[in-house]
Amino acid sequence: MRYILTALVMVTVWLFSSVSAHDSLIVETPWYEELAFSFPVPECYNICGESFDVGDFRLHPALVEVVSQKESSCRWPRVGPRGAVGYAQIRPRFYHGTFNIRDRRENLLAADEILSENIRQFGYCEGVRRYNGSGKDAECYAHDVLAKFEKRINGTMNVVFKCPVDLTYCRQRHRRSN
């Protein structure tokens, strides 16, 4: 419960800070890292059969784990219909980071790099949505990923992350895909 309250206080402080609509959305204090690591994290973490030290990540490793499950069901090698590669389904055409996305471990670290930059710039909901794309399907994706992430780290859903989403559309889309 203490972790949830800590996260809510940090988000509230950030939301009501002196950042106006015209200011940059990039906040000097890395609040997203504090929020991501305000939940307990084991020293070693296993994602898709790959072992990591918690210090390898910028964000909570469970977020990368949920994204990888959603993107590829942790299957390797996985190449998507548009050329996306690996566990995290990263498109080489758009990735210009430091990791080799064709390597199992580095693919997951690249996902962490992309997600942390998106979240730093746009916040959790928009950052995860942008990882997937745009439109209503991407909103459903962000809602689903963040709900699963939250359930994974604290056992409940819809406490910290409230993404604006048309849940009726998401439910209909989910029924069509099954």
Domain hosting 7: range is 2-177
How many residues are recorded in the chain? 178
Q: How far apart are CA 97 and CA 77, in angstroms?
A: 20
The pLDDT value given to residue 40: 57
The answer for residues whose C-beta is within 8 angstroms of residue 126's C-beta and 6 or more apart is 118, 142
The pLDDT value given to residue 76: 86
Residues 118, 131 contacting (CB under 8 angstroms): yes
Residue 44, H or E segment: strand 44-47
The pLDDT value given to residue 17: 37
The pLDDT value given to residue 22: 29
Taking residue 3's Cβ as centre, other Cβ atoms within 10 Å add up to: 14
The pLDDT value given to residue 5: 39
The pLDDT value given to residue 31: 39
Q: Encoding tokens for residue 33?
A: 């890292």
Residue type, 7: A
Please give the tally of structural domains in the chain: 1
CATH code, domain with 48: 1.10.530
The pLDDT value given to residue 42: 64
Taking 50 as the pLDDT cut, the residues of the chain under it are: 1-37
The pLDDT value given to residue 18: 35
